[in-house]
Amino acid sequence: MKQDVNRHEILEKVTPLIENTAMRFGFIPVEIEFVKENHRWFLRIYLYSKEKDITLDDCERVTRSLSDFLDELIPVKYYLEVSSPGLERKFKSEKEFIIFKGRRVSIKLKQPLNGEEEKIFKGEILDYDSNEGLRLFRFDDGQELQIKKENIQSAKLYID
């Protein structure tokens, strides 16, 4: 029996539960995805904390807290994966610029900035606003850059 699954509807139902549970443990869910791969459903939750690194024990605690409630909300068999976003993960949403404020990033632009030739910058996120874009402290010359969000091709956390 083939069961139709509306993944967007499921994400709408489970996201508030996941966000509240993560916040109880002091974590921020950077990304929540419900995807089908090789005929299997996966619910993946990527957690972040400004105070500490996410450990395997942290992931297990969140998994145990969520699994029974998620089973009631998700009408198909699925695999739950809870992890940290990884050290050099590409940003997948604008909210990550806010979550990772103060962290080092590598930014790739669609077009060079005025007076610049380079399209890749490494620096620290100073601020982000959906209208103004990204304010970045560039490491190579200590200059502060303002980058419109439309000009950002990709961004990822950067580790020296």
Q: Which of 51, 157, 40 is nearest to 107 (CA)?
A: 157
What tens digit of pLDDT does each residue of 106-155 get? 999 999 888 788 888 899 999 999 898 999 999 888 889 999 999 999 99
Please tell me the number of Cα atoms within 13 Å of 82 on its side-chain side: 24
Look at the chain and count its residues: 160
Closest CA to 158 of 120, 113, 130, 132: 120
Please, what is the average pLDDT of the chain?
90
pTM of the complete model: 0.76
Distance of alpha carbon 107 from alpha carbon 83, whole angstroms: 24
- Please report which residue ranges of 50-154 form alpha helices under DSSP H: 56-73, 95-99
Which pLDDT score, from 0 to 100, does residue 3 have? 61
H or E, element range at 16: helix 7-24
Domain ranges for the chain? 7-83, 95-157
According to the model, what pLDDT value does residue 93 have? 86
pLDDT value at position 50?
Answer: 83
Q: Assign domain 7-83 to its CATH superfamily.
A: RimP-like superfamily, N-terminal (3.30.300.70)
Mean pLDDT of 51-76: 94
> CB–CB of 125/101 below 8 Å?
yes
Using CA atoms, how far apart are residues 29 and 17, in angstroms rounded to an integer? 11
Residue 1 has pLDDT above 70, yes or no: no
Give Cβ neighbours of residue 18 (< 8 Å, ≥ 6 apart): 29, 32, 45, 66
Fold for domain 95-157?
A: SH3 type barrels. (2.30.30)
Confidence of residue 52 (pLDDT cuts 50, 70, 90): confident
Instruction: Lowest mean pLDDT of 60-64, 88-92, 128-132, name the range.
Output: 88-92
